Amino acid sequence: MEERKALGIRPGDTIRVHQKIQDKGKTRIQMFEGLVLARKHGDEPGATFTVRKVASGVGVEKIFPLYSPLIDQLEIVKRAKVRRSKLYYIREKVNREIKRQMRRMSLVSMSTESGAEAAIREAEEAKVAEEEAAKA
């Protein structure tokens, strides 16, 4: 929960959301990458953020709960400096105009990992550390 708060998602960010989807008893990961239009309710447990992308010429918006257990991972692809806290006006703009208006601050690769991914990574790091200690 703290890692998502520390990620600091804000309007203007382009993010990739890895969402768990249940299909006939199987769980799969579906990615949704787009522009954050709004963030609501601060850092409280009911906090949400709205992401918009254009798929096949049709605008698609999804509202995600920030602390949902169905969200496996959040990645910030890039950050842009915007002057509004809610970017709802972008719905009427053309893609070309949006890109012109967004001033890139930096290309950032931040992400949150699920508990399972973190455990696997820590186990691999511990294994490498043991191998290095055995060599020395």
DSSP 8-state class, residue 92? G
- Res 133: pLDDT: 81
CATH of the domain at 27: 2.30.30.790
DSSP string, 36-52: EEEEESTTSTT-EEEEE
HSE, side-chain direction, 13 A CA sphere, residue 13: 21
Contact 72, 18 (CB under 8 A): yes
3-state helix, strand and coil shares in percent for the chain, rounded to the nearest 5: 30, 45, 25
- Res 106: pLDDT: 45
Dihedral pair phi/psi, residue 4, rounded to 5°: -75, -35
- Res 89: pLDDT: 87
- Res 116: pLDDT: 64
Domain that holds residue 12: 2-135
Could you read off the pLDDT tens digit of each residue along the chain, which spans 136 residues? Answer: 677 777 888 898 899 999 999 988 899 999 999 999 999 998 888 999 999 998 888 889 999 998 988 998 898 888 888 888 898 888 887 666 666 666 554 445 555 666 666 667 777 888 888 888 887 6
- Count: domains in the chain: 1
Please tell me the pTM assigned to this model: 0.67
Of 58, 111, 59, 108, the residue nearest 81 (C-alpha): 108
- Res 30: pLDDT: 92
- Res 102: pLDDT: 65
Contact 9, 35 (CB under 8 A): no
